[in-house]
Structure 1
């Protein structure tokens, strides 16, 4: 009789452990499902905002092209504008990245304007600084190869 009792206790213990493992796996599965749902939502939001970002970047670039300045721009404004310019001026931007590496968006804009044949005075008007400051800014942007 004691053998049967021990066997039942062992089986009961094994069942408790199995139930605990199942409960743990269900919690883990629920966490993964929640994470997958959040990632899917993030992807959806990103794809919807991508078109809006492209339009915003285009508007910012046209603001410059039409004689506007970047004086009140935020870092995000520069990033959006350069994201658009990487599409619009793909070859030039690839060349800038090849020559100067991963430089800040504002510096990318300076180099793009220079490659688009803006003179120091015109770049200065865009940035709201004088032409000597533009020359110094360009001199500080170090090429990867000399």
Structure 2
């Protein structure tokens, strides 16, 4: 079994928080307007099944104008955010930081299945800070 110590969890979490803490004071940008502000699937008045029938932007997958970008779990996290804080950008950014930290710990556990302890920790640390995750 892939064992991860509390020190490693704290190290990864601290690194993620350190990298992305400043995002909490930022607002919504770029496609957040379409994905969050204008997306009716986030609203409690919209049936939950719509999350599984619509694309990422809230357009029914059956429509020609749909981008066919099917990401219901992402939209579900947006909806949970909306239930707690409506359209507070800080809440959305905070949940993304938490989820990224959790994924980094899971990544470390998976790496431990194939790599030695040091190599897996280095891989997880690089994964935590890699710029590709700026939208995470």
Give the TM-score category using the shorter length: under 0.3
Task: Give 1 or 2 for the bigger CA radius of gyration.
Answer: 1
Would you tell me which structure has more helix in proportion to its own residues? 1
Point out which structure has higher relative CO (alpha carbons under 8 A, 6+ apart). 2
For normalisation by structure 1, the TM-score amounts to 0.25
